[in-house]
Each structure stands twice: as structure tokens, then as C-alpha cells.
Structure 1
Amino acid sequence: DPEAIKTWIYPTNCSARDYQFNITQKALFSNTLVALPTGLGKTLIAAVVMFNYFRWFPEGKIVFMAPTKPLVAQQIEACYKITGIPQAATVELTGQTTPEMRRLSWLTRRVFFLTPQVMQNDLNRGTCPHSQVVLVVVDEAHRGTGNHAYCEVVRELRQQNEHFRILALTATPGAELKTVQAVVQNLLISRIEIRTETSPDIKPYLHQRELETIKIAKSEIIQVVENAFSKIMGIFLGRLCRERAFYNNDAPTVTSFQLMQARDRWRNENKNIDKFKAASIEGAFGVAMSLASPLQLLQKYGIRTFYAALTRYIEEGRKEGSRISQARAELLKSSELAELVSTVEAHMLQPDFVSHPKVDHLTAIVIQHFTDHEEEMRRQRREGSTVESRETRAMIFTQFRESVEEIVSMLDMHKPMVRAMSFVGQAGTKGGGKGFTQKEQLQVNKR
């Protein structure tokens, strides 16, 4: 629209923040990667850019992609609240939407909220009109590396349409430069707008936060298990070191990544080696990498998570039978490994078993938090305060579901003061158990 494109509109129904206005202005005219800490308004920026492209291109299609359906639903609601895009022009497409309904939607609607997999399927089928797409918004854009669906969508669109804008949103652009560069290349980014918690223009809008690091010493049983397990792992590290395929025989300091890098180097330098020797070294690398992971779990999360990972590896090896490497077969027959597993199982059966001292310390911190809150509420009531009493909550983040289960079990011992609830995603690995669906996760978060 030649007239509409002479101006761009920014909402006045939201509090004015200079950084949002400035980023939005840049994103309208450049393919922009916006990196903002969580809670600082990436959604508003996306909604405003989408609204202006809706005005500027009356026949154009606007696409918002998010990696999960709940995130897609959140963005739809936000766009309705922030801008004037009519609901009749928008649609959410999912894998459950019938092909015919999707075809009709692409013909009659203008703003599409979907996951990248749905978008990729519609592009491949020819349902989505490539040439009419004028704006693509990518949420959680740091995922845009390798062959992720985000990358495939952009590649497919670019083959038949050279003129569309991209707005990429993320709270975590990537810890390494090469990761950020991959996102920039895959999503055709020409401008980066990045703000951190130390950026002067967002400091006034940050919630106060204190960070305290508490160091907890290993328990005696963890040290015993670590020493015994390190000896077992050391057998395979020693073989690799003797063959000059690896350089570190100190198991507690070895990571799976270090071993993987060393294996790749060894493969490049020994392409013509005797196949039996190659198989022996490959087997040692495989076992060492598989053992390095449980050992790291033991150090970070304690015995329960270590035991779950180790026994899963043992059971998988037994199921594979004769297909496993000679090194892995040797490990599974090891009396030292069997003895270690028995020791751990016996310890876990003890009534006062705690996987890691961190759990005890964490429990004490949580109890103190709720105790302090109760005392403050009583004080206010005694003094006749008119301030409305507020509930308090605590969120505990941990990486593994075994750790979640143990923390909840410990906190449950302190009901009704502490009402704990686990909050885990659906299992991505074998034997992980059934987690919450994305819809259930949202419901728990709102309680």
C-alpha cells in the first residue's frame, strides 16, 4: 500500500520504553536478530512489526513461528492485546489441522501462527504461497542452527521469494561466537540488536535480583563411589593413553566432549590403521565416553542420578547382546562394576539416604524461606497492617527428572508448610517415564 508504507505505527496503550521503540524501528527495515533478557518485551516488538507489515502489504502473508504449541498460543493472545490485527485475519495452524482446512486458511487468512514443522510441511506441499510471504517472525531463534526446521523453512522460502523480512527473537543468542554466526547465516540476519542485563537502556526495567553461590562438599559415600568408578573408567582411559589416542588418565577430570574430540582427531590421523587395532581403540573410546557422563552426573547431582544413568547404560548393553563392542562386553562382565552397583543399591535402601548433600542444604533454604514469610505475615497481623497478605512461592531448577523426584520427596516431608509439585517435560530418552505435556506445564505454572 503506497500510502500506508509512508508511516509506521507504534502503540500508545503500552508504557513507553526507548529500547523497544528503537529496536522496533530497526527491525522494520532490516532482517534483525533481537536478543533481550526474558520479560523485557520481545513480544511487543514482534507484534508491532507484524501489525505494520499487515498495514503495508494488504495481500501479504505474515508468519509467526514458535517451537511449541503453547508458545504459539501465547503469541496469538499477545498480538490481540497489543495491536489492532483483526482476529478474523489470523489463524493458528497445527499438525491436527486437516490439509483441506490448512489450504483454505492459506487462501483466506493473512497472519499465521504455527510451529516450524507445520510451516515446513505446508511449503513442501505447495499449500503455502511462497511469493506472498512478506514477514517471518522466528521465536526462540537460537535454535536456528544445522538442519533445524527454522533453517529449512527459510531456505525453502528463499528459493522462490527473495523479498521477505525476517525478525528473529531470543533471550539466549548462544554462548559461542560460531553458534551466533550460524543463526545469523541460516536466518539471513543483517542486523543484531542485543541487550544484556548491564545495558543502560534496560536497567530501569529489570527486577532486582541477588545471586548467591553456595559451595557444598561431597559426601563420604559420593567420594567412595567416585573413586571406585574412576578406577573402572581408568582401565579404558589407560588403553587410550598407551596408544597415544588420549592424554588424560584422571577420570574425574575427563569429559565426554574431550573424548569425542580426541576420537575425531585419532580417526583423521589413523585412517589406514589395522582394523582390529582400530576396533579396540574405538571400543575403548566408546566405553570411556559412556562412563564419563555418569561420573559427571555423580559429581553434580549425586548418587540417584548417577545410578539411573549407569544402570540404563548397562541394561541397553545387555539387550544389544553380541552386537556390542568387545570393550563394552568386558565392562559388563566386570566384577568391580557389579560390586559398585551393589554398593550403591544398598546405600540407596537406607532410610536416611540422601543422593547429594546439596539436597539437604536446599531443603533447609526452602524451609527457612517459608518460615520467614509466615513470621512476617504474623507480625503484620499483630501490628494491624492493612497491607494485603501475599503468598510466596519458590522455584527450583534442576536438569534431570531423577533429581526432581528426589527434591520433591524431601520437601514433601515438610507438608503442609511446603507444598511441592514436580514440573517435568515429556521424556526425551528411553526409560525416562511420562512427563507433563506442554498444556499441563502451562497449567502448573499458573497455579
Structure 2
Amino acid sequence: MSSQFIEKQYVKSNTIDKREYQVNIADSIKSQNSIVVLPTGLGKTVIALLSMAESMINNPTKTCMILAPTRVLVHQHYEFLLNSLNLSETEISVITGEDTLKKRQTKWQNQIVCATPQILQLDINRGMIDLEQFSIVIFDEVHRAVGEYAYVPVAQSLYSKNNEIIMHGMTASLPSESPKIEEIMNNIHAAHIEFRDRESEDVKPYVHDTKVEKIEIELTDDIKTISNLIKKTISSYSLKLRNNGQLLPRDPSLKAVLAKIHHIEKDPYLSKRWDIRNNLYSLVRLLHGINIIETQGVDSFSKYVSRLKSKQKSSGVKKLLEHPDFSQAIILTDRLQSLGEDHPKLAKLESIMEANLRGTDKAIIFASYRDTVDKIFEVLHGKGYHIGILIGKSGQTGQSQKQQLESLEKLKSGEFDIIVATQVGEEGLDVSECKLVVFYDNVSSAIRFTQRLGRTGRRSPGKVVSFITKGTRDETNYYISQQRLSKSQRTIKRMNKNYKKPAEKKGLDKFL
């Protein structure tokens, strides 16, 4: 009978549970540049570890590298590798901008390096790294390897100097369109995709059922009134723009308005028409505002208006706040707030928590806006729950890396029952398994949907509750994410069979 733990040179004994799909994937990708698509929580980092161990066996004098988008993720990978490999602290390094140049130069030569792509790119540009020293590089959250993101120039630099290097990308999901997947594959020179979902035969034994429940929410009459007043304001601004020759529908989408702004800012004449530009900027603010009142609630919208009021030096903002319909929406918002009324999602959230959390059960609630995170925290903390927050580091109210890790540790230790998180809680972070996951709002991204979903159902049956406010962006985003997820999986499966990256000619061959 085979061991229940992974047994491999460099891997500590009795440390990592042996899972068939992880071993299968690591074996499949060991000799070719590949992208691994595996749902959140199913151990992509173990596959990365096995790949690096294999590389150290074959190239013991060379360096293995894992890159991640944030310092928190980088430190998380470092801790995992340190605890799982038979290597000392001096053989595995974390490299950040806080290190001196001299210290970084030494660290880049360690057996394993964990870093952000930005610091790697910086030191490549300084000419202080021998790129031929690397045997393998892992790109965590590889779906970011598009456009000008640092993964792209870093991969190009590595490959141009070292075309024997193995490059692997790890992600929970890829885009739904073939050209976008091809772009990512080309950017890291990958010719192969290893795809698994929770229904894959070698994954099924290691996951539990996750029940997904959609709860439709009806807006209150008062919030509908505020929404309609904002819609009237939007129509008014659209009419002003049409009268100035800028064709927009009466109820334009944010995408259409942003495209119009992009066009005007490039036009030598129209870019000087500040009346047109201010009206377009006001439309962006209104479309953002209507999404907040409809999907987040009164308190979040009130805080949004307060931020607008702080920008009244701008003539465009001042005119918007003085618009009769919008100013009426603000008055009604203030009245509802004084009465303690808010989005019906909050009351439903309280009942969901009460019905589903027992004893040591844990939950994570995802919300897109920090104001909403604060409101949820206030409401549930007031009900006696031990609750924490997990938000990004930008802005005055952001969390530092240390604070983020403290929140995660408190959830893991049981000090917190609930974490309320923004997008930072979706991507890669080692969030303790939760019995319950709540989507307070919905996102259109299939990648983000998959990342949220992966926070439950790993070690025991889990439940996901998705709040969908009828007739709003909530509803639209939910169905878009489902369509994109389904299309992405079909596209990946098709490309895995058909995609053959042409071999690049090397040396003199490219001229013959």
C-alpha cells in the first residue's frame, strides 16, 4: 500500500498529504512549459513545490523561483516552502524592495527564491541577476500575465537569456476567450494546459459537496425611489451630451461612457471641451452611484456622496450635487439613514448567519466595497459575532500586510467566526476553510467567482449563498460570470487538445 504522504527528495517526510491529482499534474508538466488550472483551495502550491523539487533533483546547482502578485502571497509561499522542504532558512529567500541591493544580489542566488515580479524586473533592468542561473519559474495567479503586467517582460527576459528554463503558471481560472488564453500562454511560452475542476475523476475523492443557493432580494420602495431619481439625472446628462453631438443612449452603460471619454481625450478639439468632459465624468459618477445604492445600500451610498461633496471645488461635481433630481436622491438617502434603514440584504445576512453557523463553524463574506465591509462588520459585531475584516492596503483605511496576516490567523485559530473581505480575500491567500461563503454582491469575472467559491467544500461539505438584487447589476453580473465560467472551461478543454505552440527557432536556425 502506498504512503499517504508524498515521498520525494527534498520534501519533508510525513508533511504533505498525497493527492493523486497533484502528483498526476506535477508528473505531466515536469518537462514542458505549462499552465495549471485548478480551483482555489485544491493545492496549486503543492504542485509548484513538486515541480521545484523535481527541478532541484535534475539541476541541484541552479535556482528555483516562485513569483506572486503581492508581498503577502510571496511570504505565504515562503512559509509553506520552508515548512515543507528539507532546506534551511538560508537556502530559501524572500526578496522585497526593503532589502538592500547588496543583500538582494546574494539572495537571488539561493536555492529557492520567492518574490514579486516587480522587484525581479527592477533587478533585471539593473543587470544584477544572472538569468541563466534559474532552472524553473512559477508564475502564481498567471491570469495576470497580460498587457504590461510585470509577468510579461520578466518572462520575456528570462526566456531570451535562458530558453532551457521551465515556466509554469498557476491559476484558478482563465479568460473565456481563446485569444486571451493564447496571449497568456504565449507570454510565458507555455504549450500545454493541465485543467481540473471539482468534477474531475482524480479530484472527486478529495472534495465535498458544495451547495450553492441563490437568494433573490427585492429593493425597498424607498431605495427604488432613490434609484429612479438617479436614473432621471443620468437621462438629463445623456440629453446634454446628445445636444452637444455626443451620441449616447438615455441609459448608457459605464463601458460606453468610458469608451466615449477615451475617444474625446484623444481628440485635439474635443479634449478642450470641458463642458462635454465634465458631463461625461458626471455620468461615470452617477452610474457608479446607482450601482452602490442598488447593490450595497443606503449607508454605502451616503459615504459615496460625502466623498463627492469633498470634491466640490470641481465645477462638474458642484453642478451634479446641485442637480434637482440628484439632490432629491441625497435628501431621501439622509432621511433613510437617520431612520436606520438600509439595504434588505443586511437583514437577510443576519438570518443566514443565525441559521447556518453553529459552534466552531466559520464564514467568509465577500463584498466589493470597503464601505460595505465596514457596515457588515458593524451590524454583525453588534449581534455578538467574533468578526474581522480583510481588505487591501491602499488608502488611509487599508490594512498593512501584517494586519492582513493577523486577520487570517485569527480566523484559523478560531478567534474570529467570520471574516468580511474585499477582493484581496479572493486571490490566493491562505484563508482558512469556511463552512459558509456569502457573496454579498456579484462580480462578472469568472476568475473571481471561482476564487470565491473555493473557500468552502474542501475538507467537509460547504455552502455558498449568493445575494442577487433583482433588476440590478447584481443579477447581470451573476449570469455573466456563469456564462464566462462555462465558456472558459469549454475553451480550455478544447485548446488543451488543439493548441500547439510553434517551436521557436534558436541561434542560426532562425535565419535559415
Q: Which deviates more, 144-153 or 31-40?
A: 144-153
In the TM superposition, what is the alpha-carbon distance from 1:90 to its structure 2 partner? 1.9
Q: Summarize the Cα distance change of 1:39–1:331 in structure 2 as closer, same or farther, 3 Å threshold.
A: closer
Give 2:405's aligned residue.
439
Q: Which runs of 5+ in 2 are unaligned?
A: 1-7, 414-512
Percent identity for Structure 1 against Structure 2: 24
Equivalent residue for 1:406, pick from 361, 364, 375 = 375
- Say which SS state the counterpart of residue 124 (structure 2) adopts: helix
8 Å contact from structure 1 (residues 246, 262) kept in 2: no
Q: Summarize the Cα distance change of 1:91–1:31 in structure 2 as closer, same or farther, 3 Å threshold.
A: same
Write the letter of the residue equivalent to 1:158.
Answer: Y
Deviations 1:211-235 (A, max 9, x none): 0101010012101111111111211
Give 1:428's aligned residue.
394
Give 2:159's aligned residue.
158
Give 1:397's aligned residue.
366
Q: Write the distance in 2 (CA, Å) between the matches of 1:264 and 1:210.
A: 43
Q: Write the distance in 2 (CA, Å) between the matches of 1:104 and 1:272.
A: 51
Q: Which runs of 5+ in 1 are unaligned?
A: 1-7, 374-389
Write the letter of the residue equivalent to 1:358.
Answer: K
2:368 counterpart of 1:356: no
2:329 counterpart of 1:340: yes
Give 1:380's aligned residue.
none
Equivalent residue for 1:71, pick from 64, 70, 73 = 73
Deviations 1:167-223 (A, max 9, x none): 111113235444433322222222111222233332222222100101010012101
Write the letter of the residue equivalent to 1:403.
Answer: T
8 Å contact from structure 1 (residues 54, 85) kept in 2: no
In the TM superposition, what is the alpha-carbon distance from 1:338 to its structure 2 partner? 3.1
- Say which SS state the counterpart of residue 218 (structure 2) adopts: coil
Larger RCO: 1 or 2 (CA < 8 Å, sep 6+): 2
Give 2:62's aligned residue.
60
Q: Write the distance in 2 (CA, Å) between the matches of 1:73 and 1:25.
A: 26
Q: Which deviates more, 165-174 or 339-348?
A: 339-348
8 Å contact from structure 1 (residues 47, 78) kept in 2: no
Q: Which has the higher helix share?
A: 1
2:239 counterpart of 1:218: no
Largest Rg, 1 or 2? 1
Equivalent residue for 1:301, pick from 276, 296, 302 = 296
Write the letter of the residue equivalent to 2:326.
Answer: L
Give 2:146's aligned residue.
145
8 Å contact from structure 2 (residues 265, 271) kept in 1: no
Equivalent residue for 1:20, pick from 22, 28, 33 = 22
Write the letter of the residue equivalent to 1:289.
Answer: V
Write the letter of the residue equivalent to 1:435.
Answer: Q
TM-score by length of 1: 0.81
Give 2:111's aligned residue.
110
Q: Write the distance in 2 (CA, Å) between the matches of 1:86 and 1:424.
A: 31
Q: Write the distance in 2 (CA, Å) between the matches of 1:309 and 1:185.
A: 41
Equivalence map 1:179-194=2 (5 Å):
179-194=180-195
Give 1:385's aligned residue.
none
Equivalent residue for 2:306, pick from 287, 299, 311 = 311
- Say which SS state the counterpart of residue 212 (structure 1) adopts: strand
Write the letter of the residue equivalent to 1:74.
Answer: Q
* CA-atom RMSD in angstroms: 2.8
8 Å contact from structure 1 (residues 354, 360) kept in 2: no
TM-score by length of 2: 0.71
Q: Write the distance in 2 (CA, Å) between the matches of 1:175 and 1:291.
A: 30
- Say which SS state the counterpart of residue 395 (structure 1) adopts: strand
In the TM superposition, what is the alpha-carbon distance from 1:35 to its structure 2 partner? 0.9
Q: Write the distance in 1 (CA, Å) between the matches of 2:18 and 2:392.
A: 39
2:35 counterpart of 1:33: yes
Give 1:259's aligned residue.
257
Q: Write the distance in 2 (CA, Å) between the matches of 1:435 and 1:62.
A: 31
- Say which SS state the counterpart of residue 57 (structure 2) adopts: helix
Give 2:469's aligned residue.
none
In the TM superposition, what is the alpha-carbon distance from 1:354 to its structure 2 partner? 3.2
Equivalence map 1:271-290=2 (5 Å):
279-290=274-285
In the TM superposition, what is the alpha-carbon distance from 1:128 to its structure 2 partner? 1.7
8 Å contact from structure 1 (residues 404, 422) kept in 2: no
Write the letter of the residue equivalent to 2:412.
Answer: K
Q: Which deviates more, 68-77 or 37-46?
A: 68-77
Deviations 1:251-287 (A, max 9, x none): xxx431132235556789xx587777x5544333222
Q: Summarize the Cα distance change of 1:120–1:403 in structure 2 as closer, same or farther, 3 Å threshold.
A: same
Q: Which has the higher strand share?
A: 2
In the TM superposition, what is the alpha-carbon distance from 1:10 to its structure 2 partner? 10
Write the letter of the residue equivalent to 2:355.
Answer: Q
Write the letter of the residue equivalent to 2:329.
Answer: L
Give 2:354's aligned residue.
367
Q: Summarize the Cα distance change of 1:176–1:50 in structure 2 as closer, same or farther, 3 Å threshold.
A: same
Q: Write the distance in 2 (CA, Å) between the matches of 1:166 and 1:274.
A: 46
In the TM superposition, what is the alpha-carbon distance from 1:249 to its structure 2 partner? 1.1
Q: Summarize the Cα distance change of 1:106–1:427 in structure 2 as closer, same or farther, 3 Å threshold.
A: closer
Q: Summarize the Cα distance change of 1:274–1:138 in structure 2 as closer, same or farther, 3 Å threshold.
A: closer
Q: Write the distance in 1 (CA, Å) between the matches of 2:206 and 2:388.
A: 31
Write the letter of the residue equivalent to 1:225.
Answer: I
- Say which SS state the counterpart of residue 113 (structure 1) adopts: strand
8 Å contact from structure 2 (residues 10, 53) kept in 1: no
Write the letter of the residue equivalent to 2:227.
Answer: E
